[in-house]
Amino acid sequence: MDSSDLVDQPGKIRKGEELDFERLKEYLEPIVGRDLGSMRITQFPGGHSNLTYMLKIDTEQWVLRRPPFGSKVKSAHDMSREFKILDALKGTYPFGPGPIHFCDNHEILGCDFYLMNYIKGIVIRREYPNHLRLSPEQVRIQLLNFFDALGDLHSLNLGEVGLSNFGKPKGYVKRQVEGWSNRWVNAVTPDTVNCDEIIRWLQDNMPEESGKASVIHNDYKLDNVIFDVQNPLKLIGVLDWEMSTVGDPLMDLGCTLGYWVQLDDPEFFRNARTMPSDIEGAPTRSQIIERFKERTGLSVDHFPFYFCFGLFRLCVIGQQIYYRFYHGHTTDDRFAAFLKKAHVLQQMCLMIIAGKITQ
């Protein structure tokens, strides 16, 4: 196997997402301590939300993160939050990339951005990489390792990582339901399907807090983690921390399960999946919950609520992305498809509410 074929590779920068090379070069040279005249900038695939670029010169490589162009939703693209979390986790949680520099001077790129170390490895997106051949048992181990890293994050001691006063864990569940409901209202377009029933159900079925405050990632999914090239079952990096905070870990688990499509799910949901979780060997949501309980000691009661919330939250994010396209804030044609994806997620929420999906 040629390991280079498995590494997530950056490519040409998408139209409208170019960076000001001269300004960036001049700003970063004293930070990295060298001339960057021959630096090359490429862009990683994905990037429906925050954008990720590779900066390379000779054998040195860094990763730059910035918010999407045209977005007005500051809380969803908070670079300073991401940088602060990574700085706090450094040396305690082994999967966060090393933060190097945060910039809030908008004269450079017109936004906050930060620089971090590059972790070379495998990123799994909608399909497994062509050259990655895993048996069902290996798939099971790999994906359980994926959830174990989330459980390990939730098990960190807040005092030890210096995040005891970060976020507002008290009342977190209620604030999340109310906050995402308001975001939905603000992102509605004339061609949107109504979400009133889902919002009412979430408000009426909110469980009490789990009683544990943890560091939570808030967007933990397969294309936000990196696996080792030599041992693809081993997770070596967790990316995209801009939405992380301190809150209820069961809500974080629900957000991840919102992405988790399994083999016995309705065909319309499987067709819209964004990661290959519905293949032979992949753990089911019920198996994931049992593993999570063993890893963290937390009881995952009220599963329908957490799963429905995770789906609704993704629906809102998709609608926010589509809103940018609808109003001409971006010309990226990929964003047009998010209206249909939002509708798929709405359908799944309604099936949970009707009791047709219980795990």
Tens-level pLDDT at each residue, the chain (359 residues):
445 567 878 999 999 999 999 999 999 999 999 999 999 999 998 655 789 999 999 999 999 999 988 655 555 568 898 899 999 999 899 999 999 999 999 999 999 999 999 999 999 989 988 788 899 999 999 999 999 999 999 999 999 999 998 889 999 999 999 999 999 999 999 998 899 999 999 999 999 988 899 999 999 999 999 999 999 999 999 998 988 999 999 999 999 999 999 999 999 999 999 999 999 999 999 999 999 999 999 999 899 999 999 999 999 999 998 998 999 887 788 888 999 999 999 999 999 999 998 87
Q: Is residue 292 within 8 Å of 151, Cβ to Cβ? A: yes
Give the span between the Cα atoms of 221 and 239, in whole angstroms: 10
End-to-end CA distance of the chain: 38
Q: What is the pLDDT of residue 332?
A: 80
CATH topology for 3-117? Phosphorylase Kinase; domain 1 (3.30.200)
Q: CATH 3.90.1200.10 occupies which residues in the chain?
A: 136-353
Residue 157 structure tokens: 């001691």
Predicted TM-score of the model (pTM): 0.89
Question: In angstroms, rounded to a whole number, what is the distance separating the alpha carbons of residues 338 and 272?
Answer: 10
The C-alpha atoms of residue 352 and residue 315 are separated, in whole angstroms, by 15
Q: 232: which 2 tokens?
A: 């693809």
Secondary structure element (H or E) that encloses residue 43, with its range: strand 40-43
Q: Which pLDDT does position 45 carry in this prediction?
A: 81
CA 255/CA 102 separation, integer angstroms: 27
Residue 139 near residue 281, CB atoms below 8 Å? yes
Between the alpha carbon of residue 136 and those of residues 124, 139, 279, 283, 287, the distances in Å are: 16, 5, 8, 10, 15
Domain limits, CATH 3.30.200.20, in the chain = 3-117
Could you tell me the CATH superfamily of domain 136-353? Aminoglycoside phosphotransferase (APH), C-terminal lobe (3.90.1200.10)
Interatomic CA distance for residues 192 and 177, integer angstroms? 20
Determine the pLDDT at residue 1.
44
* φ, ψ (nearest 5 deg) of residue 16: 90, -5
Phi/psi at 203 (5° precision): -65, -35
Show Cβ contacts of residue 309 under 8 Å, excluding neighbours closer than 6 positions.
176, 177, 180, 202, 251, 254, 255, 258
CA 28 to the chain's CA centroid = 27
Give the model's pLDDT for residue 227: 96
Cα–Cα dist 153/249, whole Å: 9
The H or E element containing residue 102 is strand 99-103
